[in-house]
Amino acid sequence: MWKIPASKPEIYLTFDDGPIPGLTEFILEILADFDARATFFCVGDNIFKHPAICDKVVKSGHLIGNHTYNHISGWATQHKLYFKNIENCQSFISRHQDTLSQPLFRPPYGKISKSQIKILRDKYQIIMWDVLTYDFDKSHTPQKSLEKIIYGTKPGSIVVFHDNYKAENKLKYMLPRYLKYFAEKGYTFKKLAPVEINKPFN
């Protein structure tokens, strides 16, 4: 799934790689300022290390998705090990969030093979994106990156920010300004489930 069919001004915010101390709490505070909901694609090892932060994400009304246990690439990992890593992450998610009928999964780096997709899609809704913020990329200024993602965002866009220290400085600049811009245009910010994932997708 790259984008959500939308007839209303809605944006689907997602945050990859957390939860981590400090930055995840900052994100939650900014989201609360705009009454925004989001989906956090978490790494299982980070959930293991920071369970209280994971609980805070869920209690704040957001959704947890699977981002593998060790942030591994599907292209560089044997299928058996890849699937086991995903299941390990899901077992930790289930300790903090009720299991969805079709849990959400995002492959790290967006790298996943067709054969892996074929097996995983029977159990997971595989979530990609149509707007990447490049908050981890130091070759663009925060303002330039912000302008690009504002231009690229449309109703139903799935937007990727990063909940990691590499992206921290740019995210802290971009996220509140991005939310303010679209909130003033009447957009709402939604998590991907549970209602949305039950809709038919192309």
- pLDDT, position 194: 54
pLDDT tens, N- to C-terminus, the chain (202 residues) = 999 988 899 999 999 999 999 999 999 999 999 999 999 999 999 999 999 999 999 999 999 999 999 999 999 999 999 999 999 999 999 999 998 889 999 999 999 999 999 999 999 999 999 999 999 999 989 999 999 999 999 999 999 999 999 999 999 999 999 999 999 999 999 999 754 444 443 3
Cis previous bond, 155, omega within 30: no
Per-residue exposure over 61-85, b if at least 16 CB sit within 10 Å of its own CB, e if not: ebbbbbbbbebbebeebeeeebbeb
Q: What are phi and psi of 165, to 5 degrees?
A: -70, -25
Q: What are phi and psi of 157, to 5 degrees?
A: -60, 140
Q: Which residues, including other chains, have CB under 8 Å from residue 184's CB and lie 6 or more apart?
A: none
Rounded to 10°, the helix 142-152/168-184 angle is 40
| Sign of the dihedral defined by the CA atoms of residues 93, 95, 96, 97, in that order | positive
| Ordered structural domains, the chain, with CATH | 10-198 (3.20.20.370)
- pLDDT, position 99: 85
pTM: predicted TM-score of the whole model, two decimal places = 0.94
